[in-house]
Structure 1
Amino acid sequence: MSSEPWGRVDETGTVYVRTAEGEQVVGSWQAGSPEEALAYFERKYEGLVVEIGLLERRVKTTDLSAKDATAAIDHLRGQVDEHHAVGDLAALRVRLDGLVATVDSRREERKAQRAKQTDEARVAKEALVVEAEELAASDQWRSAGERLRALVDIWKGLPRLDRKSDDELWHRFSHARSAFSKRRKAHFAALDAQREEARKAKEKLVAEAESLSGSTDWGGTAARYRELMTDWKAAGRAQREAEDELWNRFRGAQDVFFAARGEVFAERDAEQSENLKLKEELAVEAERLVPVTDLKTARAAFRALNERWEAIGHVPRDARPKIEGRMHAVERALQESEETEWRRTNPEARARAAGLTGQLQAAVDKLRTQIDAARAAGNNARADKLGRELEGRQALLDQALKGLQEFGG
């Protein structure tokens, strides 16, 4: 007879496993030694250990359903209860009981999770309904329509609620989409009518534009084309195909006119560009007159330059302010020199300056005499007072003498 801690084989070849309730028959072994019999049933036990371990991992790490997990536990428990293995069967039952508790716990967790998901889905769907109802009043037809389509996809991805709640929310959601769709259809129907009116108006503008394309009244026709462009913009858009075709004709008529005008203006521009070069040369000559050292000579030279300037003719419009500004700057410098010379040589102004200087000199001389007399009489207070007055008069006299010097005297 052979025995191990968890089992034994008797002399008849019967294999037993030891349990808390006593020994239980595992099976009969006649094919070999008792040790081989125990090893065989111990391997069956190890197989059960492996299966239970795998089930434990599946329960803990995968989304195995509670139903499937329970069926697997029951299957393994049946194998343990049949006592066809040698080992600590009680330990296996404890592990299976633990799995039952784990599955029950997972079932409750999933139930709570589903309840939470349902609540979250309810909140999400209510939010979708509110947004859809807001979009139903929008005039942003493209963006609002795209957003409503996106909301439908979001709705489809959310779990269903109970039938009553889900149907009520879907009814509101669907109604908002329908309301938006009806408003959009009405809008585009009105827009189509407007575009038809625009097409008719633009056909008239095209006809006039084409009739003007051969005109040589460059200024008047260009102005009329600008008015036609304003009318074109005010007419609104026609249907796309009609809009493109009419625009090509309208633009083509203008291109014919402006191309012809451009050829004429190109010749004029070439002439004006040459005029600009000549005037730039004259501006350089004029700028050499500044600063003015001989006013009479500078004025004569500037007059001669100005006569040549006027004889040259027009320059390009965009260059005109700059080139004319250079000549005006020289002219202002000459004018300022003239004004300065006039002030310096003006006899009336010089006489007034001389008279004022004389008056101030007399007043200064008088004050000095009065100061000397006061000090001789011992009246120092009066002398000091007159001295302060003398300082003010002397300052005025110095200023007047400086002005008189500017007149050359």
Structure 2
Amino acid sequence: MTTSQQPDAPKPAAPKPGSVTPAQVTPVAPVAPAPAYTSDLEEAKQFAEVSDDGVVTLLDGGEPIEVGQLPEASKDEALAYYVRKYDDVMTQLQLLKQRLETDVANQELEKTLAQIDETIAQRQMVGDMTKLRDQAKTLRNALVERQARQQAEREKAVAEHQAAREKIVEQAEEVSAQDPAKTQWKHSTQKMRELFDEWQTAQKSGPRLPRATEDALWKRFRTARNTFEKNRRAFFSELDARNAEAKKAKEALISRAEALQHSTEWGPTTLKYRDLMDEWKKSPRASRKDDDALWARFRGAQDVFFKARDAANAEVDREYEANLAVKEQILKDAEQQLPFKNVDTARSVMKDIRARWDEAGRVPRKDMSRMEDGIGKLEKALTDLEDEHWSRTNPETKARTDSALSQLEDAIQQLEADLAAAEQQGNEQKIAAAKEALDARRQWLQVIQAAGE
């Protein structure tokens, strides 16, 4: 039998136009054509009987089944015809076995195998029918295993896809559950957009979930997004209200600052600006953009005043430059008197310096501290000298000093007598001890006498 004479394998139904999109088309691995199965004619004779008039009978397990008649053909030709029918079915089984390893749909394979089973059941062929049925049964079992395996893979894919979708939902719920006061809205908003994109991608590309599961997950995801958006709108609405209140408060401070900017009452106005600055620091902040603009206006009003004050002070300072030169000369003259040694002389010098200092008048503001430090150094020198003089002339201190002097003088007289006696005795040890004690007492005496002068 030629290839054209072999029974045609069932063809899959052609898809309707537009029913398949490019995204749904999966490339199918080409299937190599199965080699045609060929039975040995001599071996096939054990499964058939051929009569002289061309009637062919199949022997299936000892059961005779008439399959057809070819009266004009020889016995071998008649047998060969029905053996080829057997080979065609076996070839179809081999081809089906190969297709099990491809991605052909199970439904199509099931349909093909059912047609083959029907052909086998009709037994209109000659060959080892037991072997043929065993081959069909083996393929049937393989197809069942394939269906079970694919079902398990589908269930696994669905479970993994469901877990991925649940993770997206959980992340969205985590973002929406944040404290609005602590939420980083720019980052969180971007995160929500990314999660929504992930949801859409998973929904389009992943396996379909059960309708109830899909609806439940979408409900949770939608609720999380709505909650987040509600919190975001509420937060920024409240923020706008706070910004408006802050702007109002700072506008009032700016108005007060601008009202003072042309004042020439330098001292009082400076204090008022200081108070305004304290109020500004305590006032609530507006948005960054608004706060910067408000601060520029507030600072501008202060600058007008302080520039005018600095200009006025500079003019006054120029008038005091001559006074500065006089006071610097006074300090130079006075420093030549240091260190003070006599209290009366020092007091006289400082009295003259103070008179000249007051007469010289004010100095520029930038030099005031330096001048005050210079005169302060002279005043301290006088104070230290007076304290030292008092400690020496204090009656109580003098009485204690006189008592100490008297005791030392008596001790010296006694030691001198002891020394004389030791020298008369020629006792070198006592002489050395007396001299050592006498030298120490005389040194103490000199110290006390110098302190009392």
Task: Give the TM-score taking structure 1 as reference length.
Answer: 0.54
Q: Secondary structure at the match of 2:181?
A: coil
Could you say if the C-alpha distance between residues 174 and 305 of structure 1 is closer, same or farther in structure 2, counting changes exceeding 3 Å? farther
Matched, 1:129 2:172: yes
Task: Provide the rounded CA distance (Å) in 2 between the counterparts of 1:368 and 1:244.
Answer: 92
Return the alpha-carbon distance in structure 1 between the equivalents of residues 181 and 265 of structure 2. 47
> Do the aligned residues in 2 keep the contact of 1:345 with 1:407 (CA within 8 Å)?
no
Instruction: Give the counterpart of 2:189 among 148, 162, 167.
Output: 148
Other-structure match for 1:15: none
Q: Is the 8 A contact 1:195 1:239 kept in 2?
A: yes
Where 1:81 maps in the other structure, the secondary structure is coil
Letter in structure 2 aligned against 1:221: T
* Corresponding position of 1:171: 219
SS in 1 for 2:180: coil
* Number of equivalenced pairs: 311
- 2-side partners of 1:144 and 1:400: how far apart? 85
Q: Summarize deviations over 1:33-65 as a string: whole Å, max 9, x none.
A: xxxxxxxxxxxxxxxxxxxxxxxxxxxxxxxxx
Which whole-Å CA distance do the structure 2 matches of 1:274 and 1:119 have between them? 92
Pick aligned residue for 1:157 from 188, 194, 198 = 198
Residue 407 of structure 2 corresponds to residue 359 of structure 1: yes
Partner of 2:359: 311
Residue 139 of structure 1 aligns with which residue? 181
User: Measured at CA, do residues 244 and 324 of structure 1 come closer, stay the same or move farther in structure 2, by a change above 3 Å?
Assistant: closer
Structure 2 unaligned runs (5+)? 1-25, 38-97, 103-145, 422-432
Contact 2:321–2:363 under 8 Å retained in 1: yes
Q: Return the alpha-carbon distance in structure 1 between the equivalents of residues 375 and 364 of structure 2.
A: 16
Q: Which residue is equivalent to 1:401?
A: 445
Matches within 5 A, 1:2-401: 68=27, 71-72=29-30, 74=31, 77-78=32-33, 81=35, 118=161, 121=164, 124-125=167-168, 127-135=170-178, 137-140=179-182, 143-154=184-195, 156-157=197-198, 159-160=202-203, 162=209, 164-165=212-213, 167-197=215-245, 204-231=252-279, 236=284, 252-272=300-320, 275-276=323-324, 278-292=326-340, 297-315=345-363, 317=365, 319-344=367-392, 349-350=397-398, 352-362=400-410, 400-401=444-445
Q: Quote the offset at 1:267 in angstroms.
A: 0.9
Query: Identity of paired residues, percent?
Result: 34
Partners in 1 of 2:407 and 2:378 — Cα distance?
41
3-state SS of the aligned residue for 1:139? Answer: coil
Partners of 2:255 and 2:181 lie apart in 1 by 35
AA aligned to 2:226 is S
Deviations 1:7-29 (A, max 9, x none): xxxxxxxxxxxxxxxxxxxxxxx
TM-score relative to the length of structure 2: 0.50
Are the aligned partners of 2:317 and 2:365 in contact in 1 as well (CA < 8 Å)?
no
* 2:177 aligned counterpart, secondary structure: helix
For 1:340 and 1:117, the matched residues in 2 are separated by: 97
Deviation of 1:239 (Å): 8.3
Counterpart code for 2:198: G
Superposition RMSD on alpha carbons, in Å?
Answer: 5.4
Distance 2:185 2:332 in 1: 66
Indicate how the Cα distance of structure 1 residues 365 and 115 shifts in structure 2: closer, same or farther if over 3 A, else same.
farther
Equivalent residue letter for 1:150: K
1:153 deviation in Å? 0.7
Whether contact under 8 Å (2:316, 2:364) holds in the other structure is no
Hey, which of these two has a bigger chunk of helix by percent?
A: 1
Is the Cα contact below 8 Å between 2:258 and 2:301 reproduced in 1? yes
CA distance in 2, matches of 1:265, 1:400: 61
What letter corresponds to residue 147 of structure 1 in structure 2?
S
CA distance in 2, matches of 1:272, 1:284: 19
